[in-house]
């Protein structure tokens, strides 16, 4: 089974195998790819001949660098806000289905993993990173928030790592991805072909243990105490001020990243990551994320952020609103939309 060239969907042995196939676009997830993957998962969930799902990507540079931002920007600039809202609602349903999938869901997170790529991998049961993995949730820099269930993942990271990664968009490697709870297992990239062949031959993810090793050391565990101090502040301004008191290089980079972010995105992200800690499931976090994204073109900084980062690439966005964002604006962006919250049906 296949749904066009951008995503390859087939059953091999007892494995439902999905391959993101847009290497020229860093395997960015288009609307059509998301819909096709969801349909395949629905089939594989109920197919007794399929024991597990494997998702990977073509090329060595990226697993998936995010959603198809260009399409969202182009339609948004014409005043068509329904396309983006439909895209996000359907993508979030896919993310929730992955999190609740009743069979093993193995993701080979090799290369760049950002945004939408996190959504189709980090909610799985077996999340494999490699020496080429570079994971980030950099959405605040383009006027968005860490979505696709990102606030759920960040909210359940140890200590204040979630606030740090969400507000700064910091890039992390394999060891830190595992420490932060975005991944489970490290497999050297040179062993991926053999691992994939073994998974397809057996349909049994227990074979993964034969290919694992210890990843190169990360950084997050060693700065946990400073993260706890800096990112426990009530507001983004509190966090920013606390970072000034830390002399480490990472703190200076974090402060600069916050300065570059959209004030409304930063304020909402801080609130959403903390709220996610009390959510019963990723679906609750996705509903809250949709509240923000359903308004981010009309009332937020998304279009301007994408223009500056991706379209014109001047890296000089003119974000609206003051610094910090007002309490009223945060409440508005996170309030229930006029049409009601999205309904996430798993079947």
Catalytic residue IDs: 67, 116, 139, 147
Give me the numbers of helices (H) and strands (E) for the chain, helices first please: 15, 9
Banded pLDDT at 111 (limits 50, 70, 90):
very high
Gyration radius from the chain CA atoms: 19
Residues 152 and 127 in one domain: no
To which H or E segment does residue 119 belong? helix 116-119
Residues 182 and 274 in one domain: no
Q: How many domains does the chain have?
A: 2
The more confidently predicted of residues 305 and 2 is 305
Residues 23 and 82 in one domain: yes
CB-count exposure of residue 163 (10 Å: 0-12, 13-18, 19+): buried
The answer to whether the peptide bond before residue 186 is cis (omega within 30 degrees of 0) is: no
Let me know if residue 166 belongs to a domain: no
Give the tens place of pLDDT for each residue, 122-133: 999 999 999 999
Q: What is the mean pLDDT of residues 55-77?
A: 95
Let me know if residue 122 belongs to a domain: yes
Sheet holding 134-136, edge to edge: 62-64, 112-114, 134-136
Residues 63 and 181 in one domain: yes
Residues 114 and 199 in one domain: yes
The mean of the pLDDT values for the chain is 96
Let me know if residue 188 belongs to a domain: yes
Residues 145 and 110 in one domain: no
Which pLDDT value is given to residue 321? 67
Q: What is the mean pLDDT of residues 212-224?
A: 96
CB-count exposure of residue 47 (10 Å: 0-12, 13-18, 19+): middle
Let me know if residue 67 belongs to a domain: yes
Q: Which domain holds residue 114?
A: 1-136+173-218
Give the tens place of pLDDT for each residue, 276-332: 999 999 999 999 999 999 999 988 899 999 999 999 999 999 998 667 899 999 999
- Calpha distance 252→270 (Å, rounded): 19
Is pLDDT of 4 > 70?
no
Let me know if residue 194 belongs to a domain: yes
Residues 102 and 240 in one domain: no
Tell me the CATH number at 181.
Answer: 3.90.226.10
Which pLDDT value is given to residue 71? 92
Banded pLDDT at 177 (limits 50, 70, 90):
very high
Which pLDDT value is given to residue 320? 85
Q: How many residues does the chain have?
A: 347
Residues 102 and 75 in one domain: yes
């Amino acid at each position: 089974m296949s749904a066009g060239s951008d995503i390859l969907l087939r059953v091999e042995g007892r494995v439902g195998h999905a391959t993101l196939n847009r290497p020229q676009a860093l395997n960015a997830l288009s609307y059509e790819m998301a819909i096709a993957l969801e349909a395949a998962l629905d089939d594989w969930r109920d197919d007794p001949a399929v024991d597990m799902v494997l998702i990977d990507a073509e090329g060595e540079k990226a697993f998936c660098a995010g959603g198809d931002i260009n399409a969202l920007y182009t339609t948004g600039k014409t005043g068509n806000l329904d396309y983006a809202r439909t895209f996000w609602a359907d993508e979030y349903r896919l993310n929730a289905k992955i999190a609740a999938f009743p069979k093993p869901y193995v993701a080979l997170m090799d290369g760049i993993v950002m945004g939408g790529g996190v959504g189709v991998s980090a909610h799985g049961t077996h999340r494999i990173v490699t020496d080429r993995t570079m994971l980030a949730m950099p959405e605040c820099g383009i006027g968005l928030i860490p979505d696709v269930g990102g606030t759920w993942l960040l909210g359940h990271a140890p200590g204040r790592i979630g606030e740090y990664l969400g507000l700064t968009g910091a890039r992390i490697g394999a060891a830190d991805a595992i420490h932060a709870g975005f991944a489970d297992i490290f497999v050297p990239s040179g062993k991926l072909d053999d691992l994939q062949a073994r998974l397809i031959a057996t349909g049994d993810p227990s074979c993964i243990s034969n290919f694992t090793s210890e990843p190169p050391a990360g950084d997050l565990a060693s700065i946990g105490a400073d993260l706890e101090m800096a990112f426990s502040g009530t507001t983004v301004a509190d966090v920013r001020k606390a970072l000034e008191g830390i002399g480490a290089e990472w703190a200076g980079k974090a402060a600069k990243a916050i300065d570059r972010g959209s004030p409304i995105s930063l304020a909402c992200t801080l609130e959403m990551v903390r709220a996610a800690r009390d959510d019963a499931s990723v679906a609750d976090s996705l509903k809250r994320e949709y509240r923000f994204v359903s308004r981010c073109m009309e009332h937020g900084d998304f279009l301007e952020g994408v223009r500056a980062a991706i379209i014109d690439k001047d890296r000089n966005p003119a974000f609206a609103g003051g610094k910090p964002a007002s309490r009223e604006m945060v409440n508005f962006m996170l309030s229930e939309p006029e049409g009601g919250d999205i309904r996430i049906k798993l079947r």
